[in-house]
């Protein structure tokens, strides 16, 4: 059985009549990377704020490492919430020192984390002189201080350049390899698909789905096919009762198959009709597609 790092039970938060978080329950297990998805205002930041003890919940409870949350449990968590928050008139390095002091850990790791986010050269500059991307990087460095067991990132790549986004993604994967638990709220579905093992989908404060990313994207229900003679191809596909749907897409057809009917069987069938395929590929459903479908169903 996997070790539970965070357990959330029936959590809710009301802002007047708005239910920002609505009876949310969730278990987070050690060593996994969780992506939290949801449209704007679905309660991602509010939920993270509650489990970091900066927002008081209206109801429900949560525990960290099987304990009642205290400042001591928070010292084992590195987190950024929404935007990088630092003292603008202090240098990046001094800001990190304050965080190390609060976490009661030594300054030894500071040089390392600065190196990790590529800010060593600018460590003496005041925070307010940083570019948006640099601020974001410093926030990630701050979260890494003290080698925490859990990392919480709320939109960590906000404002980063493509190279920066790729670097942060690499970094997250690298940290995850070391057995850290990561919770990542993001709007970049592709990023979540590439970095996360698990996904939680929120909508209007409710938990719509929680499970493995692979579960969502595994079933290859769609097959791409292409042939010299596209008309024949389409004609015979229409004759096959195992084909539920055909969609035209540029130079190929995307075919939806009945469950259990595989691409190989389709190929065999078409060969028997004298159609030689020039292209055959299984198409994995993207997280994005699933996400949008799920929200549309609501």
Partner 1 sequence: MIRLLKIEFKKISSNRTFWILSGLYALLIILFFFGIQSVIDDLAEEANKKSPIPLPGLSAYSLPDIWHNLTYIAGYFKIFLAVIVIILITNEYTYKTIRQNVISGFSRWDFLKSKLLTIGVISLAATILVFIIGLILGLIHTEDISAGKIFGKSEFLLAYFLEIYAFLTFAFFIGFLVKRSGLALGLLLLYYYILEPVARYKLPDEVGNYFPKKAIGTLIDIPNTSIMRLFGVEFQDYISLIDALVVVAYILLFGGLSYWILKKRDL
Judged by the rule CB under 8 A, the positions of this chain that interact with partner 1 are: 49, 52-56, 70-72, 74-75, 77, 79, 81, 83, 85-91, 94, 97-99, 101-104, 126, 142
What's the min distance (Å) between Cβ of 86 and partner 1? 7
Neighbouring residues of 289: CB distance < 8 A, sequence distance ≥ 6 = none
20 versus 253: smaller Cβ distance to ligand ATP: 20
Residue 121 to residue 156: CA distance in whole angstroms: 21
What's the min distance (Å) between Cβ of 44 and Mg ion? 5
Per-residue burial over 15-28, b = 16 or more CB atoms within 10 Å of its CB, e = otherwise? eeeebbbbebebeb
CA distances for 135 relative to 67, 77, 96, 148, 186, angstroms: 33, 20, 12, 20, 18
Q: Which residue is nearest to Mg ion (CB)?
A: 45
46 versus 73: smaller Cβ distance to ligand ATP: 46
12 versus 193: smaller Cβ distance to partner 1: 12
> Which of Mg ion, partner 1, ligand ATP, none sits in contact with 51, Cβ below 5 to 8 A by type?
none
Mapping DSSP to helix (H, G, I), strand (E, B) and coil, where does residue 102 land? helix
Q: Report which of 275, 221, 218, 274 is spatially closest to residue 247, judged by C-alpha positions.
A: 221
Q: Which of residues 29-58 bind Mg ion (CB under 5 A)?
A: 44-45
What's the min distance (Å) between Cβ of 82 and Mg ion? 6
Cα–Cα–Cα angle for 197, 138, 4, rounded to 5 degrees: 30
> Which of Mg ion, partner 1, ligand ATP, none sits in contact with 213, Cβ below 5 to 8 A by type?
none
User: Binding of Mg ion at residue 207 (CB under 5 A)?
Assistant: no
**Number of Cβ atoms within 10 Å of the Cβ of 112:** 13
Tell me which residues touch Mg ion (CB under 5 A).
44-45
């Amino acid at each position: 059985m996997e070790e539970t790092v965070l357990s959330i039970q029936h959590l809710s938060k009301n802002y007047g009549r708005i239910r920002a978080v609505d009876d949310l329950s969730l278990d987070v297990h050690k060593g996994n990377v969780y992506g939290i998805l949801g449209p704007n205002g679905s309660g991602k930041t509010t939920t993270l704020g509650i489990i970091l003890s900066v927002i008081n919940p209206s109801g429900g409870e949560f525990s960290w490492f099987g304990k009642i949350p205290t400042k001591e449990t928070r010292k084992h968590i590195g987190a950024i919430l929404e935007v990088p928050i630092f003292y603008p008139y202090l240098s990046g390095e001094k800001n990190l020192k304050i965080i190390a002091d609060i976490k009661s850990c030594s300054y030894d790791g500071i040089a390392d984390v600065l190196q990790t986010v590529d800010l060593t050269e600018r460590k003496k500059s005041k925070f307010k002189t940083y570019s948006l991307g640099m601020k974001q990087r410093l926030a990630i460095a701050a979260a890494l201080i003290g080698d925490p067991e859990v990392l919480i990132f709320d939109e960590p790549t906000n404002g980063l350049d493509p190279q920066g986004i790729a670097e942060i993604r690499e970094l997250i994967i690298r940290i995850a390899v070391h057995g850290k638990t990561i919770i990542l709220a993001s709007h970049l579905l592709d990023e979540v698909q590439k970095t996360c093992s698990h996904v939680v989908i929120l909508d209007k404060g409710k938990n719509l789905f929680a499970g493995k990313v692979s579960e969502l994207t595994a079933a290859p229900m769609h097959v791409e096919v292409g042939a010299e003679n596209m008309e024949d191809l389409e004609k015979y596909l229409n004759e096959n009762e195992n084909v539920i749907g055909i969609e035209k897409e540029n130079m190929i057809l995307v075919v939806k198959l009945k469950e259990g009917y595989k691409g190989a069987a389709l190929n065999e069938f078409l060969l028997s009709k004298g159609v030689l395929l020039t292209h055959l590929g299984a198409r994995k459903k993207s997280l994005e597609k699933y996400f949008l479908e799920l929200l549309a169903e609501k």
